[in-house]
Structure 1
């Protein structure tokens, strides 16, 4: 990951689904997934920006309806019944990747739609799919702080240490977002604390740099647990 010293701390923008009953306007042309934002010292940057066009949301003068949304958008909206209807007509949509390589499962994970995630996994969606810039469903869920989805994905054998184009792992993203429960869940399943981002930050170093003291404590406790002597010295 590239360091960008001197840049101001960017606003953390939540990755929000398109309201099916709202007008799609040019003013919302760029919507960000809070994967990584720029911090004051350029510690860690990765902002995956998805435009309405990339998401299939062409600007229109009419309100969007559920019938007009793609399966990716429906997954992000949490529309389980509509997603099921699409799959009943075309089962290949289960693994269909959009322009950025995101599958319906990845969209559901990014938006915290647990019911859709569970439904898609039950239908056989591959949780190990990697998008164009190596984003994964686990990375997106960890970045958003959706611990229930993180735990569900981990039960399906995903790579807990998967990394994206700039070296960000699920654990690093959870630390960056100050998502304590996600950090704990990832550590409990064996996430590697020694992996560093391309800019050289380990999870601990990142937590210290960002002042996430509770995350630091979780990481410290985990280290002590890992290296606690199994026998009492004589």
Structure 2
């Protein structure tokens, strides 16, 4: 299908009056290219259909963990993009949105986008706003952790944000930071003595989500702090099971080395 779409997007060449005798050959070549693209697309569709029909090479239930991760990761009903995160920190700015837009954003949106100046102004307007949950139970800290806004996370913690807060489906700042692979935020939260093995409604733990995302450094940090390797998600996968099923070889090596160290220390 991708080949067909690419073929349809190609602009038609302008008429060439000097070499009109070569046009039939170009048409023939174009037809062959389109036919080859269609054949390749059909082959990909057939292969995909074979996998869906029951190819045992992929993890049959690890997709459950992928599908059941907090809807935050898919951006449902929240107009933010992961590709835009960390922009403020990287550029050294505290404000990135247009002034006219800032006034319409909630404290949760400001936290997720890293709008520190405006967020601070909002928090001054009332008590306990720093830990105010939205309709799904996400606090500003959970949003900031989920979108990798490390400076916002640091400031929110200094302003009294609760790192132990859980959303309605037991989502936590630690789990969502682990899902995104934001190791610095994970370390910062662990220094606040959050539950490293906290589980959500899907049975997912920070370590399971870090493994699922193939976040090697994050897995290392969690294991170094004592994350439980035996905890299973509701799908039945342990962290090692999930790493093997997904083919994350570097994560597998990290887990194997950690297990070896545990045995050597006994």
Same fold (TM over 0.5): yes
Moved more, 91-100 or 213-222: 91-100
8 Å CA contact 1:7, 1:42 repeated in 2: no
Distance between the aligned counterparts of 1:90 and 1:7, measured in 2?
Answer: 55
8 Å CA contact 1:193, 1:202 repeated in 2: yes
Residue 239 (structure 2) aligns with: 203
Residue 60 (structure 2) aligns with: 41
- Runs of 5+ consecutive residues of structure 1 not aligned to the other structure: 9-38, 58-62
> Is 2:213 aligned against 1:177?
yes
Please give the TM-score of this superposition, normalised by the length of structure 2.
0.67
Residue 173 (structure 2) aligns with: 137
Please give the secondary structure, in 1, of the residue aligned with 2:103. Answer: helix
Residue 27 (structure 1) aligns with: none
Which has the larger share of helix?
Answer: 2
4+ runs of 1 displaced by more than 6 Å? none
Distance between the aligned counterparts of 1:220 and 1:53, measured in 2?
Answer: 36
- Runs of 5+ consecutive residues of structure 2 not aligned to the other structure: 1-50, 81-98
Instruction: Give the 3 Å change call, closer, same or farther, for CA 90–53 of structure 1 in structure 2.
Output: farther
What displacement does 1:82 show? 0.9
Q: Deviations over 1:130-164 (max 9, x none)?
A: 11111000000000000000000000010000000
RMSD: 2.4
What displacement does 1:186 show? 0.3
8 Å CA contact 2:212, 2:243 repeated in 1: yes
Distance between the aligned counterparts of 1:148 and 1:87, measured in 2?
Answer: 24
Residue 91 (structure 2) aligns with: none
> Is 2:139 aligned against 1:103?
yes
Distance between the aligned counterparts of 1:135 and 1:181, measured in 2?
Answer: 21
Q: Deviations over 1:47-76 (max 9, x none)?
A: 43359895599xxxxx97011100000001
What displacement does 1:7 show? 8.4
Instruction: Give the 3 Å change call, closer, same or farther, for CA 169–65 of structure 1 in structure 2.
Output: same
8 Å CA contact 1:134, 1:163 repeated in 2: yes
8 Å CA contact 1:7, 1:41 repeated in 2: no
Higher relative contact order (CA 8 A, sep 6+): 1
Distance between the aligned counterparts of 1:183 and 1:102, measured in 2?
Answer: 24
Please give the TM-score of this superposition, normalised by the length of structure 1.
0.76
Instruction: Give the 3 Å change call, closer, same or farther, for CA 77–48 of structure 1 in structure 2.
Output: same
What is the total number of aligned residue pairs between the two structures?
A: 191
Please give the secondary structure, in 2, of the residue aligned with 1:73. Answer: helix
8 Å CA contact 1:166, 1:198 repeated in 2: yes
The correspondence of residues 75-224 of structure 1 with structure 2, limited to 5 A, is 75-224=111-260
